[in-house]
Amino acid sequence: MRGVVLEGSSTEEDSIIPMPGINLDGAPHREPLIIIEPSDRLRAHLQELWNYRELWYFFAWRDIKVRYKQTVIGASWAIIQPVLTMIVFTVIFGRLADVPSEGVPYPIFAFTALLPWQFFATSLVRAVTSVVASSALITKVYFPRLLLPFSAPACGTVDFSIAFTILLAMMVWFGIEPTWRILTVPLFFLAAAVTAVAAGLWLSALNAKYRDIGLALPFVVQVWMFASPVAYPVSLLKGDWRLLYSLNPMVGIIEGFRWAILGRRHLDVALLVPAAILILALFAGGLVYFRRVERTLPDVI
Amino acid sequence: MSDIVIHAQNLSKQYTIGTLRRRGMSLGDHLEERLKFLFPRRVGAQPRTDTIWALKDVSFDIKRGEAVGVIGRNGAGKSTLLKILARIVTPTTGRAELYGRPGSLLEVGTGFHPELTGRDNIYLSGAILGMKKQEVSRKFDEIVAFSEIEQFLETPVKRYSSGMYVRLAFAVAAHLETEILLVDEVLAVGDGAFQAKCLSKMASTVAEGRTVFFVSHNLEAVQSLCPRALLVRQGQVAVDGTAQEAVQEYLTYLTATSSSAFAENPERSGNGKVRLTGVRIVTTSSLATTNLVAGDPAVFEFTYENPVGAESCRLAFTIFNQLGIAATNCDTTIANGALHRLSESGTFRCVIPNLPLPIGQYRLAATLESEGHISDSVPNALVFNVASSTFFPSGRSPQMRYCSCMVLHQWEHEPV
């Protein structure tokens, strides 16, 4: 009966006795569970993300389980990578270049920074490549695509925890006593994860369309590391440079780590505030941008 | 009208052809595209059409517990429609309302990870399809039993045979208990016995009163599972009626358009080294016809072109009946070896001395192979009728439900 409107035959419509729960359009009167439209609402979107929290867990679980499959030494890689890097840094920067290390032995000075850095770097790479790596899923099944970059840091968490035990052992070896500050480590760890996801939101969406992002990524990560105080102390930078430098969120995070573990005298708040604001802005913008691209993903990927 | 679960209103999906071609384009390509306006277009160049409507103004209502089949040629828009309802792609315009949790099965093994064991993949794939962990745990034994892979549960699925892989994947999917089930062609996998198992699982899903939306090329499956069917043609619903009506109209439509089977057929594939240029059936009177008589001779003539000068080729064709079942297959390598000494163009002839097909409507799919590669494959090369029969002296033929190909036989009787 829908669509057939006879001019002047109003009796047609009048004679229909409205049935409970049905409007004349043919659609039931109750609330639809899902509305499919060219544009969606942010609230429904976030609700959906919450409904799918179990899938977030499964993505994380899968990545962790698969990470060291078919390797001989398995999770030992989580130790070998930062330890070898530390040795190389100690020889090149600590000995040959004689980079100062603020009164602590260079190996532990470098290792304290390498932990958050490597966690951040692997999380970032995973987040950026997550969407393209899951293109088969994206074109075949529905789930909130945000889960992909969001689940990226999970994998590095395990590596981080394993390597952290080495750090504790080194603290004992070098005779560095832990203070209450070590309890703030999770905070800086979380900041590193959020930074990785924030950048990942932008770059993974862009990477879906332009694979250039993925190709440039290893180079960007390398440059980013040297732009962060991993191999050298912040105190090497003086004056105006510091403000520009503090715009790199990893500066504050790495400095925070050193402050929490090595017991440096004070934490430069001037380094933290711009970074925190930047991270949150990047994250919020990334959410909006990702959501916009998300809707066209199966068409462009 | 009382209990609608899917309410689709003017759903349309527009694709930019440029975008489709730009899959994985690089930034450089994009800049080039952007800068094109700086250079004048070649004189006389055709302005190309940039967008196509894969789906245009599609509206329908589906009631709770209904099983609806969707048929149509490749590229007609049926997959796009399914993907919109499954929320994989967004419609360009229009709106759909779902009054129930949808689950979609667009592929077997969605989300399987090769490194993980069968057990792990059951949970992972279940979660990706939208099941809760609890739900998977509850049905775990059932899933394992259905898949028949008990002893390989702790083996990584990359070590599975393809049959085991498919069985496990389907077992997970089959236990998805959503109110609405959106299914695409997943039944086209596995061996015959497993396909039958899948079909019966689908049938029981329908019997449980869940809503099934089933996109398929298997006309027989659609007819046996779905009382109702939509025929999608050029992005629009051409028929919305009983499965019988939709299939009938589809076959009629194929007949009408089969002349274009060789020109611009979106379903055609192959490397094109040797190409078919036409198919016709010639009877005793040496006239081309599409109305055949069972029991009479029929000659299937395939004209070809061979632009690169291939030496030999293999030609095979399959005749499908109106139920979607393969009635018979004729293959040069089975009957008398490959076809040699090809010229630039010519005709292959396949002579069937007494056509054994029961009365009904048929579709012919032809495939040409040269040097081990498919050079031309035309799934809808020709549609024809078998209108009458002289195969048996009675002039009758068995019903298609019981018979895909007739066998000459005689009855004897020996009273005690």
pLDDT (mean) for B57-64 = 92
Distance of residue A263 Cα from the nearest chain B Cα, in angstroms: 43
The answer to whether residue B102 sits within a structural domain is yes
Distance of residue A239 Cα from the nearest chain B Cα, in angstroms: 38
Closest partner residue to B106 (CB to CB) among A26, A140, A143 is: A140
The answer to whether residue A149 sits within a structural domain is yes
pLDDT (mean) for B331-353 = 88
**What total number of domains does chain B contain?**
2
Residues B58, B149, single domain; the answer is yes
pLDDT value at residue A246: 82
The answer to whether residue B383 sits within a structural domain is yes
Tell me the pLDDT tens digit for each residue of A117-130: 999 999 999 999 99
Distance of residue A237 Cα from the nearest chain B Cα, in angstroms: 36
* Contact call for A26 and B7, based on CB within 8 A: yes
- The ipTM of this complex is 0.80
- Radius of gyration in angstroms for the set of CA atoms belonging to chain A, rounded to a whole number: 26
pLDDT value at residue B358: 92
The answer to whether residue A15 sits within a structural domain is no
Residue with tokens 């030494």: A73
CB of B83 within 8 A of CB of B41? no
CATH for B208: 3.40.50.300
The answer to whether residue A4 sits within a structural domain is no
* Contact call for A141 and B27, based on CB within 8 A: no
The answer to whether residue B59 sits within a structural domain is yes
pLDDT of residue B1 exceeding 60, the answer is no
Residues B227, B311, single domain; the answer is no
Residues B233, B290, single domain; the answer is no
Tell me the pLDDT tens digit for each residue of B261-284: 566 666 677 888 888 888 889 887
The answer to whether residue B206 sits within a structural domain is yes
Question: Model confidence at B18, in pLDDT bands (50, 70, 90)?
Answer: low
Residues B227, B276, single domain; the answer is no
Q: Cα torsion at A107, A111, A117, A121 (round to 10°)?
A: 90
Q: Report the C-alpha gap between A48 and B211 in whole angstroms.
A: 23
Instruction: Collect the ranges in chain A with pLDDT lower than 70.
Output: 1-29, 40-42, 264-265
* Contact call for B128 and A296, based on CB within 8 A: no
**If you measure CA to CA, which chain B residue comes closest to A139?**
B88
Q: Number of CB pairs < 8 Å for A and B? A: 125
Residues B308, B381, single domain; the answer is yes
The answer to whether residue A6 sits within a structural domain is no
The answer to whether residue A14 sits within a structural domain is no
Chain A residues close to B25, C-beta within 8 Å: 209-210
Residues B238, B306, single domain; the answer is no
Q: Are strands B314-321 and B326-331 parallel, antiparallel or unpaired?
A: antiparallel
Residue ranges making up the domain that contains B340: 268-389
The answer to whether residue A261 sits within a structural domain is yes
Among B13, B23, B27, most A C-beta atoms within 10 A, so best to mutate, is B27
Residues B204, B67, single domain; the answer is yes
- Cα distances (angstroms) measured from residue B115 to each of A61, A132, A133, B111, B157: 13, 19, 15, 12, 7
Residues B83, B214, single domain; the answer is yes
Q: Are strands B326-331 and B373-389 parallel, antiparallel or unpaired?
A: unpaired
**What total number of domains does chain A contain?**
1
A33 interfaces chain B, CB cutoff of 8 Å: yes
pLDDT value at residue A114: 95
Distance of residue B99 Cα from the nearest chain A Cα, in angstroms: 5
What's the pTM value of the predicted model, to 2 decimals? 0.72
The answer to whether residue B54 sits within a structural domain is yes
The answer to whether residue A7 sits within a structural domain is no
| Cα–chain center distance at B180 | 22
Closest partner residue to B104 (CB to CB) among A136, A141, A301 is: A141
Residues B232, B300, single domain; the answer is no
The answer to whether residue B280 sits within a structural domain is yes
CB of B252 within 8 A of CB of B384? no
Residues B143, B232, single domain; the answer is yes
CATH for B290: 2.70.50.60
Residues B61, B181, single domain; the answer is yes
Closest partner residue to B95 (CB to CB) among A33, A35, A138 is: A35
Residues B89, B220, single domain; the answer is yes
Residue ranges making up the domain that contains A130: 40-66+74-296
